[in-house]
């Protein structure tokens, strides 16, 4: 089951790729979907703490569950 988080600062495909790569580095088996328009990232297979740490380290803004 995936959880959707609000992530700010993503403005293009490079950003969404970067957020995805950072989450996958923290949780290699995760499934990640980015919705740029809604500033939303849906993740299956990673904890909220893993997602927060990865998003923060990648320079974007983690704002918790949607």
- Closest approach of Cβ 59 to a second copy, in Å? 3
Q: Is residue 17 a contact point for a second copy (CB under 8 A)?
A: yes
In the list 4, 6, 13, 65, the residue contacting a second copy (rule: CB under 8 A) is: 13
- Interacting residues with a second copy between 26 and 45 (CB under 8 A): none
From 18, 31, 42, 66, residue interacting with a second copy (rule: CB under 8 A): 18
Distance (Å, whole) CA 48 – CA 60: 15
b/e per residue 2-26 (b: at least 16 CB within 10 A)? eeebebeebeeeebbebbbebbbeb
CA nearest to 6, candidates 54, 46, 42, 58: 42
The footprint of a second copy (CB under 8 A) covers: 9-15, 17-22, 25, 57-60
């Amino acid at each position: 089951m995936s959880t959707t988080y609000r992530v700010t600062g993503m403005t293009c495909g490079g950003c969404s790729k970067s957020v995805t790569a950072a989450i996958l580095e923290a949780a290699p088996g995760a499934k990640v979907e980015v919705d740029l328009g809604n500033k939303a990232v849906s993740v299956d297979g990673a904890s909220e703490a893993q997602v927060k740490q990865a998003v923060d380290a990648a320079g974007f803004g983690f704002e918790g569950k949607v």
